[in-house]
Amino acid sequence: MSKVAIITGGGSGLGQATAIRMAQEGINIAVVDVSEKGGNETVEKVKAEGVDAIFIKADVSKPEEVKSYVDKTVEHFGSIDYFFNNAGISGSGKFYLDTTIEEINQIVGINLLGALYGVRYVAEVMLKNGGGSIVNTASSAGVIGQDSVVTYSATKHGIVGLTRSMVAEYAKDGLRVNAIAPGPTETPMVRAFYEANPEMKANATGGIPQKRLGTPEEVAELVTFLLTSKAEYINGEVIRIDGGFTSTK
Protein backbone atom coordinates (compact mmCIF):
# COMPACT_ATOMS: atom_id res chain seq x y z
CA MET A 1 0.00 0.00 0.00
CA SER A 2 1.36 3.42 -0.97
CA LYS A 3 2.45 5.82 1.74
CA VAL A 4 0.65 9.13 2.24
CA ALA A 5 2.04 12.60 2.98
CA ILE A 6 0.41 15.89 3.89
CA ILE A 7 2.30 18.98 2.77
CA THR A 8 1.15 22.40 3.97
CA GLY A 9 2.17 25.41 1.97
CA GLY A 10 2.18 22.92 -0.88
CA GLY A 11 1.12 25.37 -3.56
CA SER A 12 4.57 26.86 -4.17
CA GLY A 13 8.20 26.99 -3.10
CA LEU A 14 9.50 24.36 -0.71
CA GLY A 15 6.10 22.68 -0.42
CA GLN A 16 5.62 22.24 -4.14
CA ALA A 17 9.19 21.06 -4.73
CA THR A 18 8.87 18.54 -1.91
CA ALA A 19 5.50 17.28 -3.15
CA ILE A 20 7.02 16.56 -6.56
CA ARG A 21 10.12 14.93 -5.07
CA MET A 22 8.10 12.70 -2.76
CA ALA A 23 5.77 11.73 -5.59
CA GLN A 24 8.87 10.46 -7.40
CA GLU A 25 9.25 8.05 -4.48
CA GLY A 26 5.72 6.72 -5.06
CA ILE A 27 4.15 8.62 -2.17
CA ASN A 28 0.57 9.92 -2.44
CA ILE A 29 0.19 13.58 -1.53
CA ALA A 30 -2.43 15.76 0.13
CA VAL A 31 -1.54 19.32 -0.91
CA VAL A 32 -2.71 21.95 1.58
CA ASP A 33 -2.58 25.65 0.76
CA VAL A 34 -4.66 28.79 1.01
CA SER A 35 -4.14 29.33 -2.73
CA GLU A 36 -6.40 27.25 -4.94
CA LYS A 37 -4.38 28.09 -8.05
CA GLY A 38 -1.05 27.04 -6.55
CA GLY A 39 -2.49 24.00 -4.82
CA ASN A 40 -4.15 22.66 -7.94
CA GLU A 41 -1.00 23.30 -9.96
CA THR A 42 0.96 21.16 -7.50
CA VAL A 43 -1.64 18.39 -7.69
CA GLU A 44 -1.26 18.31 -11.48
CA LYS A 45 2.53 18.09 -11.20
CA VAL A 46 2.29 15.34 -8.57
CA LYS A 47 -0.20 13.28 -10.58
CA ALA A 48 2.15 13.53 -13.56
CA GLU A 49 4.58 11.43 -11.48
CA GLY A 50 2.05 8.59 -11.39
CA VAL A 51 0.68 8.87 -7.86
CA ASP A 52 -2.59 10.08 -6.37
CA ALA A 53 -2.98 13.61 -5.04
CA ILE A 54 -5.70 15.88 -3.70
CA PHE A 55 -5.84 19.59 -2.97
CA ILE A 56 -7.36 20.86 0.27
CA LYS A 57 -7.79 24.59 0.75
CA ALA A 58 -7.07 25.67 4.32
CA ASP A 59 -5.97 28.62 6.41
CA VAL A 60 -3.64 26.93 8.88
CA SER A 61 -4.13 29.67 11.47
CA LYS A 62 -7.67 28.36 12.01
CA PRO A 63 -7.74 25.12 14.05
CA GLU A 64 -11.01 23.95 12.55
CA GLU A 65 -9.52 24.16 9.04
CA VAL A 66 -6.42 22.27 10.17
CA LYS A 67 -8.58 19.50 11.62
CA SER A 68 -10.54 19.49 8.38
CA TYR A 69 -7.46 18.96 6.17
CA VAL A 70 -6.38 16.09 8.40
CA ASP A 71 -9.84 14.51 8.33
CA LYS A 72 -10.14 14.89 4.55
CA THR A 73 -6.74 13.27 4.02
CA VAL A 74 -7.68 10.27 6.14
CA GLU A 75 -11.07 10.05 4.42
CA HIS A 76 -9.45 9.97 0.97
CA PHE A 77 -6.28 7.95 1.59
CA GLY A 78 -7.01 6.06 4.80
CA SER A 79 -3.88 7.09 6.71
CA ILE A 80 -1.12 9.64 7.17
CA ASP A 81 2.50 8.45 7.16
CA TYR A 82 4.41 11.68 6.57
CA PHE A 83 3.77 15.34 7.36
CA PHE A 84 5.73 18.29 5.99
CA ASN A 85 4.53 21.05 8.32
CA ASN A 86 5.70 23.86 6.11
CA ALA A 87 3.17 26.70 5.66
CA GLY A 88 4.53 30.08 6.64
CA ILE A 89 4.90 33.79 5.86
CA SER A 90 7.83 36.14 6.36
CA GLY A 91 6.30 39.52 7.15
CA SER A 92 7.09 43.05 5.97
CA GLY A 93 10.80 43.20 6.79
CA LYS A 94 10.33 46.23 9.01
CA PHE A 95 12.16 46.60 12.31
CA TYR A 96 10.08 45.23 15.16
CA LEU A 97 8.89 48.53 16.66
CA ASP A 98 7.65 49.60 13.23
CA THR A 99 5.48 46.51 12.75
CA THR A 100 1.79 46.51 13.55
CA ILE A 101 0.06 44.30 16.07
CA GLU A 102 -1.97 42.92 13.16
CA GLU A 103 1.19 41.78 11.39
CA ILE A 104 2.53 40.17 14.57
CA ASN A 105 -0.73 38.28 15.07
CA GLN A 106 -0.81 37.14 11.44
CA ILE A 107 2.75 35.79 11.47
CA VAL A 108 2.30 34.04 14.81
CA GLY A 109 -1.06 32.64 13.73
CA ILE A 110 0.25 31.07 10.53
CA ASN A 111 3.84 30.18 11.40
CA LEU A 112 3.56 29.02 15.00
CA LEU A 113 -0.07 28.31 15.85
CA GLY A 114 -0.60 26.74 12.42
CA ALA A 115 2.35 24.44 13.01
CA LEU A 116 1.18 23.56 16.52
CA TYR A 117 -2.33 22.78 15.29
CA GLY A 118 -0.95 20.65 12.46
CA VAL A 119 1.22 18.53 14.74
CA ARG A 120 -1.64 18.22 17.22
CA TYR A 121 -4.09 16.69 14.74
CA VAL A 122 -1.66 14.81 12.50
CA ALA A 123 0.27 13.18 15.34
CA GLU A 124 -2.99 11.97 16.85
CA VAL A 125 -3.72 10.03 13.65
CA MET A 126 -0.15 8.78 13.33
CA LEU A 127 0.02 7.45 16.86
CA LYS A 128 -3.23 5.55 16.42
CA ASN A 129 -1.60 3.83 13.44
CA GLY A 130 1.69 3.01 15.16
CA GLY A 131 3.74 6.08 14.34
CA GLY A 132 4.86 8.36 11.56
CA SER A 133 7.33 11.03 10.55
CA ILE A 134 7.04 14.82 10.70
CA VAL A 135 9.33 17.53 9.36
CA ASN A 136 8.67 21.08 10.55
CA THR A 137 10.00 24.08 8.64
CA ALA A 138 12.07 26.30 10.90
CA SER A 139 14.62 28.73 9.41
CA SER A 140 18.11 30.09 9.80
CA ALA A 141 16.22 32.77 11.76
CA GLY A 142 15.12 29.99 14.10
CA VAL A 143 18.66 29.14 15.17
CA ILE A 144 20.25 32.62 15.23
CA GLY A 145 18.92 36.14 15.74
CA GLN A 146 18.35 38.28 12.65
CA ASP A 147 17.19 41.85 12.23
CA SER A 148 14.05 42.85 10.32
CA VAL A 149 12.34 39.53 11.07
CA VAL A 150 11.83 39.60 14.84
CA THR A 151 8.33 38.08 14.90
CA TYR A 152 9.20 35.58 12.16
CA SER A 153 12.36 34.62 14.07
CA ALA A 154 10.38 34.16 17.28
CA THR A 155 7.96 31.79 15.54
CA LYS A 156 10.78 29.79 13.99
CA HIS A 157 12.55 29.45 17.34
CA GLY A 158 9.19 28.15 18.55
CA ILE A 159 9.23 25.52 15.79
CA VAL A 160 12.57 24.27 17.12
CA GLY A 161 11.06 23.89 20.59
CA LEU A 162 8.01 22.13 19.20
CA THR A 163 10.22 19.67 17.32
CA ARG A 164 12.45 18.72 20.22
CA SER A 165 9.70 18.55 22.82
CA MET A 166 7.44 16.31 20.72
CA VAL A 167 10.32 13.83 20.48
CA ALA A 168 10.76 13.91 24.24
CA GLU A 169 7.12 12.91 24.66
CA TYR A 170 6.34 10.62 21.73
CA ALA A 171 9.48 9.05 20.23
CA LYS A 172 8.82 5.95 22.33
CA ASP A 173 5.47 5.59 20.55
CA GLY A 174 6.94 5.52 17.04
CA LEU A 175 6.85 9.22 16.18
CA ARG A 176 9.80 10.92 14.51
CA VAL A 177 9.88 14.74 14.44
CA ASN A 178 12.67 16.72 12.84
CA ALA A 179 13.02 20.25 11.55
CA ILE A 180 14.84 21.93 8.71
CA ALA A 181 16.41 25.37 9.04
CA PRO A 182 16.77 26.75 5.51
CA GLY A 183 18.75 29.87 4.86
CA PRO A 184 17.71 32.30 2.12
CA THR A 185 16.18 30.14 -0.62
CA GLU A 186 14.80 31.00 -4.08
CA THR A 187 11.10 30.64 -3.26
CA PRO A 188 8.24 32.99 -4.21
CA MET A 189 7.96 34.10 -0.58
CA VAL A 190 11.65 34.98 -0.35
CA ARG A 191 11.67 36.67 -3.76
CA ALA A 192 8.72 38.86 -2.71
CA PHE A 193 10.48 39.71 0.56
CA TYR A 194 13.68 40.74 -1.23
CA GLU A 195 11.76 42.73 -3.86
CA ALA A 196 10.28 44.74 -1.01
CA ASN A 197 13.67 44.94 0.77
CA PRO A 198 16.34 44.84 -2.00
CA GLU A 199 19.22 45.82 0.26
CA MET A 200 18.63 42.72 2.35
CA LYS A 201 19.21 40.33 -0.59
CA ALA A 202 22.69 41.72 -1.18
CA ASN A 203 23.44 41.49 2.53
CA ALA A 204 22.14 37.91 2.73
CA THR A 205 23.95 36.62 -0.35
CA GLY A 206 27.15 38.31 0.74
CA GLY A 207 26.91 36.57 4.09
CA ILE A 208 26.52 33.08 2.62
CA PRO A 209 29.90 31.34 2.22
CA GLN A 210 28.67 29.60 -0.96
CA LYS A 211 27.68 33.02 -2.35
CA ARG A 212 24.26 32.02 -3.64
CA LEU A 213 20.75 31.34 -2.44
CA GLY A 214 19.54 27.77 -1.99
CA THR A 215 16.97 26.16 -4.28
CA PRO A 216 13.64 24.58 -3.36
CA GLU A 217 14.81 21.33 -4.98
CA GLU A 218 17.82 21.12 -2.65
CA VAL A 219 15.56 21.54 0.37
CA ALA A 220 13.10 19.00 -1.04
CA GLU A 221 15.85 16.36 -1.14
CA LEU A 222 16.57 16.90 2.55
CA VAL A 223 12.91 16.85 3.57
CA THR A 224 12.24 13.66 1.60
CA PHE A 225 15.22 11.96 3.22
CA LEU A 226 14.18 13.01 6.73
CA LEU A 227 10.55 11.97 6.28
CA THR A 228 11.15 8.53 4.86
CA SER A 229 12.48 5.31 6.35
CA LYS A 230 15.96 6.15 5.09
CA ALA A 231 16.30 8.35 8.18
CA GLU A 232 14.72 6.09 10.80
CA TYR A 233 17.23 6.88 13.57
CA ILE A 234 17.28 10.65 13.08
CA ASN A 235 14.92 12.20 15.61
CA GLY A 236 14.62 15.61 17.23
CA GLU A 237 17.21 17.20 14.94
CA VAL A 238 17.17 20.70 13.47
CA ILE A 239 19.18 20.44 10.27
CA ARG A 240 20.52 23.60 8.69
CA ILE A 241 20.53 23.87 4.92
CA ASP A 242 21.93 27.33 4.29
CA GLY A 243 25.22 27.19 2.37
CA GLY A 244 27.10 27.83 5.59
CA PHE A 245 25.15 31.01 6.40
CA THR A 246 24.65 30.34 10.12
CA SER A 247 28.06 28.70 10.57
CA THR A 248 29.66 32.15 10.34
CA LYS A 249 27.36 33.79 12.89
Rounded mean pLDDT, 155-173: 98
Greater confidence (3 vs 248) lies with: 3
Give the whole-angstrom CA distance, residue 198 versus residue 196.
6
Q: Say how many domains are in the chain.
A: 1
Rounded mean pLDDT, 95-105: 98
Q: Cβ neighbours of residue 135 under 8 Å, at least 6 residues apart?
A: 82, 83, 84, 85, 86, 177, 178, 179, 180, 223, 226, 227
CATH number at residue 18: 3.40.50.720
Residue 29 is part of which domain span?
4-248
**Which residues are known to be catalytic?**
152
Output the pLDDT for position 203: 67
Pairing assessment for the beta strands 4-8 and 132-137 based on DSSP bridges: unpaired
User: Mean pLDDT across the chain, nearest whole number?
Assistant: 95
Q: Cβ neighbours of residue 199 under 8 Å, at least 6 residues apart?
A: none
Q: Which residue stretches of 50-92 are H helix? A: 63-77
pLDDT digits (tens, 9 = 90+) for 58-87: 999 999 999 999 999 999 999 999 999 999
